[in-house]
Structure 1
């Protein structure tokens, strides 16, 4: 089989971790029967959209209660889940990692991605509260013959990192996000998703937190940049579409831009950003 069903789900996470897990559970229950992979937002475990406690950021280890609950959820519904958590950083208690976890239908944690590009833009400094990850191997996994690469939110604005992932033979880039609301931000979100899909000839699935703090608009586009499914702006909504590796191959036959390129992408092997 060279095709899968992918769902993107959205909600607005808050400071109540148990309530956030309940929302995740609801979205997985909604999508699981029709999905092989469910992509959920960045920071699904904990968020403080109203900035009520700017000096605090809740985090857990990879064997904490939230990820352990995700393992059980994935196993119960026999589905792959990709979702963002806030991972404790033993080297810096004030600045955890912004981490994606991939759970298998067997309930195993099978890969993580710690966010490389932190959102120090539009008047916000994520690096004040989060440790930027050192560049390591990208998170790449395969489901039913379809290869998926994972990135997080602000990474979308950096074509080099998406190309770096795409050059690992992926058919789909999945991007959990909490795309902050603001003037023209919805346009940026939609335009960049479509651009990254077109220039890399891949499917793209972006799953975002919703308003009022974020834009929502979780969506899946095809390798030509054509929207296939969108969850709109409301919370607790899922959008689903089929993804086919044969379609990627067909697009690349007509548009072999990856083969025609004359430049490579070499990640900068720099240490974690100094404080």
Structure 2
């Protein structure tokens, strides 16, 4: 399956952000992609979170998601993007990923588990963590896609849980805060999560200045098969279940692990 990374430069103009996603979805579809992934906070983003985030939050059947379903249907692609979901609390919202099918149906939604309370930034001031830590995996075109958001990459147990739940591709939708060594860490962590789980990792990021850019699709051996630079852009590449199966055959870590392992389960049982 061919999938695309849509690297945005989202700001506070929701209409402009939605229009950019529509343009990139059209380009991705024209390049043969069946799924296009956009970053965290794709619909609304600022350099520093503030009270405007819960103020613009909507339910998942609100105008933002309605526009995204229209984009998915119009271009005949599955679409994954970060939105700000209303939580029912006036001062807090959810940082949510939504996945829509080419027919506009909701395939999955994932509320960010690990909020970025680090580097002097307090995401939890205006965002509520997911009430459930259950991994979210959806199937599209015979491929299992697992959802995680930005800071989640630093928690390898979530990527492992997604893989155990059937993910063959992890969609890491992010707005990776810039700083010392942060681009190096972004690239290292996307590769590490791919290698240790035998999966593809699609790390799709916001562009500078709010984030580091450098969106990347990493294969299960840790090689980058698609990369973007610092500017808003879209890139597509193939993901192969045959490659996933072969790497997991060579490195059957799921059945070999001993810390917290359930030896009766996993995606790579002994013959």
SS of the residue aligned with 2:153? Answer: helix
Aligned with 1:152 (options 112, 131, 149): 149
Which position in structure 2 is the counterpart of 1:246? Answer: 242
Which position in structure 1 is the counterpart of 2:125? Answer: 128
1:98-143 superposed Cα distances (whole Å, 9 cap, x missing partner): 0000000111122100000000001101000100112253221122
Which position in structure 2 is the counterpart of 1:71? Answer: 69
Which position in structure 2 is the counterpart of 1:204? Answer: 201
User: TM-score, normalising length from structure 1?
Assistant: 0.91
1:146-171 superposed Cα distances (whole Å, 9 cap, x missing partner): 11111111100000111111111221
SS of the residue aligned with 1:83? Answer: strand
1-structure distance, mates of 2:36, 2:141: 14
1:125-204 alignment, distance < 5 Å: 125-204=122-201
1-structure distance, mates of 2:19, 2:141: 29
2-structure distance, mates of 1:256, 1:144: 25
Q: What are structure 2's unaligned runs of at least 5 residues?
A: 263-271
Which position in structure 2 is the counterpart of 1:28? Answer: 25
Q: How far off is 1:263 after superposition? A: 2.2
Contact between 2:154 and 2:189, CA under 8 Å: does it hold in 1? yes
Q: How far off is 1:265 after superposition? A: 6.9
Which position in structure 2 is the counterpart of 1:112? Answer: 109
SS of the residue aligned with 1:195? Answer: helix
SS of the residue aligned with 1:99? Answer: strand
2-structure distance, mates of 1:71, 1:244: 26
Which position in structure 2 is the counterpart of 1:5? Answer: 2
Contact between 2:194 and 2:200, CA under 8 Å: does it hold in 1? yes
2-structure distance, mates of 1:165, 1:184: 27
Q: How far off is 1:70 after superposition? A: 0.6
Moved runs in structure 1, 4+ residues, more than 6 A?
none
User: TM-score, normalising length from structure 2?
Assistant: 0.92
2-structure distance, mates of 1:212, 1:156: 21
SS of the residue aligned with 2:22? Answer: helix
Query: Which of 1 and 2 has higher RCO (CA within 8 Å, sep 6+)?
Result: 1
Contact between 1:219 and 1:239, CA under 8 Å: does it hold in 2? no
Which position in structure 1 is the counterpart of 2:222? Answer: 225
SS of the residue aligned with 1:233? Answer: coil
Relative to structure 1, the CA distance from residue 265 to residue 124 in structure 2 (aligned partners, 3 Å threshold; closer, same or farther) is farther
2:66 aligned with 1:62? no
Contact between 1:85 and 1:98, CA under 8 Å: does it hold in 2? yes
**Greater shift in the superposed pair: 222-231 or 53-62:** 53-62
Q: How many residues align?
A: 259
Contact between 2:94 and 2:130, CA under 8 Å: does it hold in 1? yes
